[in-house]
Amino acid sequence: MLVNKFVSLFRNKWVKIALCFLLFLASAIIIIAMLLGQEAGTFVIQVQDGNLDKSISITLDNPNGVAPSLQSKLTAEGANNMSDYNPQYFLDNNKYSTLTSISSHMGRWLGDSADYVDAQVTDEADFNEHIDKIYRKEVVSYDSVGNELDYIFVKVSADEKYDPNITYYTTLLDLGVTGRSLYAYSFYVVNTSTDNTSVQFKATMTYSNVSHYCDEISRIMVFTQGTEENSTKARIYYKPEDMSREYDENDTDFRNYEDSREYYLNHGYNDDLAPLTSFQSVGNQAGTVFNDDPYRIEAGGYMKFTVLFWLEGEDPDEGYFGDNIYSGTIKFGLTLSVDMTV
């Protein structure tokens, strides 16, 4: 069950998130450094020239537009006042519709209590019980191929009937969540190769500078959408619990499961929509979230790449370590490297 707790990431209550992209001559490596840091932070993206035969670049502009700006550096402000959260609010009944909406905000996007999320209304009884807090989406305009351009949320009327074909929404504030709930950063990775071939790149994310066990409740999601077939994917990464810990007093429900993955699959995670994977390696203050995850972009194509970060309110370690965990710190680094052998 989510509780309204807040975290200041690093000592001065600021989230410093930096993305640094570095494309080397031989290996065409791009480094994204995502820092949740001590000082008033920025989200920095930096690109250097590389091998033009096989290369990728970044932009916040839609590559379908006229002459997208392939910049060498992008920056965004940090964030503070992060509250706990759960993916059941954005892995909705309509598959990736909420995630797609989040990723439409290029650059930094911060979830807060005013945001609309899936109300998880599955039957008429749910609908009638929560009708005073339920909204439905009304599309205002479409583009030339039928994609939604703009929409509004309308509160359902008191005499409205439940429709199983509609995805209903509510606000985080109605769910008792206040403050910042989610950090997301979206950008495009563009195939800028000159040899007119597809390009494959690998993603590796590490974490470090952990204090007060903040890594125990940290969650990372990578959500991609691109021109390559089957490129729309979501993946969630978490640090497994130490099953030898005495969770009984703090989370008796957790002890009903044989491992933490089974627990999470029964607490807001949809493994069909976003496969749940444990961190590649863990340490006291540093480790690897994932290593060499492969992605491919067709010739002349691009991929929208979104990284999401939240503090998991359903993690039993939240109760095990107590409120002190919300004063913790953590730093992430994501590396995208072009595979020159493919």
The residue-averaged pLDDT of 69-88 equals 71
128-187 pLDDT per residue, tens: 988 999 998 888 877 777 777 677 888 999 889 999 988 888 887 787 766 677 888 898
Question: Phi and psi of 19, rounded to 5°?
Answer: -115, 120
pLDDT tier at 239 (50, 70, 90 boundaries)?
Answer: very high
Identify which has the larger pLDDT, 156 or 337: 156
In b/e form, how buried is each residue of 216-237, taking b as 16+ CB within 10 angstroms? Answer: bbbbbbbbbbbbbeebbbbbbb
257-312 pLDDT per residue, tens: 888 888 888 888 888 899 999 999 998 888 999 998 899 999 989 999 999 988 89
DSSP state for residue 235 in the 8-state scheme: E
Identify which has the larger pLDDT, 190 or 21: 190
- How far is Cα 51 from Cα 223, in angstroms, rounded to an integer? 27
- How far is Cα 328 from Cα 209, in angstroms, rounded to an integer? 10
Residue 75 in this model has a pLDDT that exceeds 90: no
The residue-averaged pLDDT of 93-104 equals 81
Q: pTM for this structure? A: 0.73
Query: Over the chain, what is the mean pLDDT?
Result: 77
Domains of the chain: which residue ranges? 16-115+172-338, 116-171
What percent of the chain shows pLDDT beyond 90? 15
Cα 301 to Cα 56, 200, 231, 329: the distances in Å are 10, 12, 11, 37
